[in-house]
Each structure stands twice: as structure tokens, then as C-alpha cells.
Amino acid sequence: MTKFDQRYPSARTGSGKASWPRGVHKISQIGLDNIGVDEEGRLYWNGQMVKEANPLELTYPQEVSAIIAVASGVVLALSTLALAVVDAARVLGYGHC
């Protein structure tokens, strides 16, 4: 019997779905009594907030690389727009080429 099962008897039932990680079980009706949500949608288990992981933490080199990639994308988009405007002008007869 696991520490969880000792602390919260009857909190889970059966095995989880085949796509779930090993050791993950379905929660029982009794176990649902331990789950709560506050006004801002944060999840609580037995009165204690479930730890939220920061979904994205970049190191300094990763941040620099991301900024360079975004800046390159903006330059590429602007140059594509400029070429489209020039081509449209040519089609409409405003260009000499």
C-alpha cells in the first residue's frame, strides 16, 4: 500500500486509461471530496493548492535566440509585404519594369 493510499483510503479506484502514465489511477467518488477550486480557477487537493509549474522558463541564451528568431520573422514579413506592394504597383501600371 502506498503512502497516498494510507493517507487517503478509497480516494482512487481501478486503473487508469491505457494512454495514461503507469501508476495513474482514476479518482473515486470519495476522492472527489478532496478536490476544490477557488474563485480564480486554481486547483486544490484536500485544502492545499496543487503546485503549478511555470510552463516556460528560458535561459538567457534561449531568450536571445528567441528574440533573434522573432526579429528575423518580422523583417521577413515586412520584406514580403514590400515586394507584394511593388508587384501590385507593377500590375496596376505604376512601375516601369
- CA-CA distances (angstroms) from residue 84 to 65, 75, 78, 89? 28, 14, 10, 9
Cell of 85: 506592394
Mean pLDDT over residues 76-84, rounded? 97
Assess whether pLDDT exceeds 90 at residue 55: no
pLDDT band at 68 (very low <50, low <70, confident <90, very high): very high
* pTM for the full predicted model: 0.43
Residue 66: helix, strand or coil by DSSP? helix
Assess whether pLDDT exceeds 90 at residue 6: no
CB 13, CB 24: distance < 8 Å: no
Amino acid identity, position 29: Q
pLDDT band at 83 (very low <50, low <70, confident <90, very high): very high
Q: Which neighbouring-strand residues pair with 51? A: none
Q: Which neighbouring-strand residues pair with 87? A: none
pLDDT band at 10 (very low <50, low <70, confident <90, very high): low
